[in-house]
Amino acid sequence: MKLNYDVVIATRNRPDALALSVSSILRDQRRLPKQLIIVDSSDSQFPVVETVFQIEKNYNIKITFVKSTRANSCYQRNLGLEQVTADVTIFPDDDSIFYPGAIDEILRIYEKDSDLVIAGVCPAEALQPPPSFPAQHVYQQKKSDILKKFIGATRYKIENRLVPDPFHLIGQQLIQRSPGIPWLKDENAIKVEFMTGFRMSFRTNVIKEFKFNNVFDAYCLYEDTDASFSAYKRGALVGARNAHVYHHKFPANRGEGFHLGLWQVLNRSYVVAKHSDRTFFIKKSLKIFIYYKLFLYALSCHSHFGRERFRGALYGIGKLPYFLQTQQGDNFDKLYTKAVKNP
């Protein structure tokens, strides 16, 4: 059965990035979205409105434009989700660049799932932009950013062997408990532990049930992991390795140092507490991983930003016991909100 899809893009102050991302959908995919929904929280609405108007003109399409009163990616995605009517919802970042045919491949995986045991599908991350990407006319990433992409996969493999990320441990448990899908290997697809934010898609009924977590503050660090783990309650998450998306990170301020350090600890602790059985092994892994992050932050204390990030993480560590000791049925949202609002 053929499925249709809607696209929801949360954006803020990045009309140039948005134009490139949307073009990779409307120009480079065989099947177009039923709706393209853009939720904007920009300081000045005019540049994004102008960009949306130009896209509509260039591609002869009507875009659903929603103005958000909050600069919060979870809140914005949920606003867009209220407009969704399609079978599948795709949530790219405003700087996600899809390779030609990537969305078509994602839909093909959903359509092959006759047993409805797949809750979400993500494409693979490409380290280089697609051939159609106008690299000479857009923001040029720093050489350090490009290098980080290439060494990142190797670094994470080494880190995960030495300092296991509890997210991966939880994700592996969820994979083992999820329904079997015998045809995945033939389609060059695999089950994934969770989906990162710039390449998420879900069956619409699944993500409408759980939504994105509005308790997270501002940048909403790890909201993608939280949504992924929730989706595993309704089926497996699958990586479509024949589909690719490139994340051309545009310059943006994700927050000041203190809160970035605080969110790194609190958001991670929240997700682990909410979605795991909090065995001794999981608790120990969380503590070791967070203290490892604190050590890395200490290495950058030569700058004001670094010192503030270290201070925020240190404050968050003081709240860690509350998340690990709170009973499963208790309200983690209130605990999180109290910790964030009273630093």
pLDDT in the model for residue 340:
79
| Mean pLDDT, each 10-residue run in order, the chain (343 residues) | 96 93 96 97 92 96 96 96 98 96 98 97 94 67 54 65 89 96 97 96 98 87 97 98 90 74 93 88 92 94 94 93 72 82 67
The Cβ of residue 51 has, within 10 Å, a number of other Cβ atoms equal to 21
Residues in the chain: 343
The per-residue pLDDT for 134 is: 79
Determine the Cα–Cα distance for residues 191 and 175; give it in Å rounded to an integer.
7
Give the pLDDT score at 161: 74
User: pTM to 2 decimals?
Assistant: 0.91
Q: Which domains does the chain carry?
A: 5-247 (3.90.550.10), 257-341 (no CATH)
- Position 270 scores a pLDDT of 92
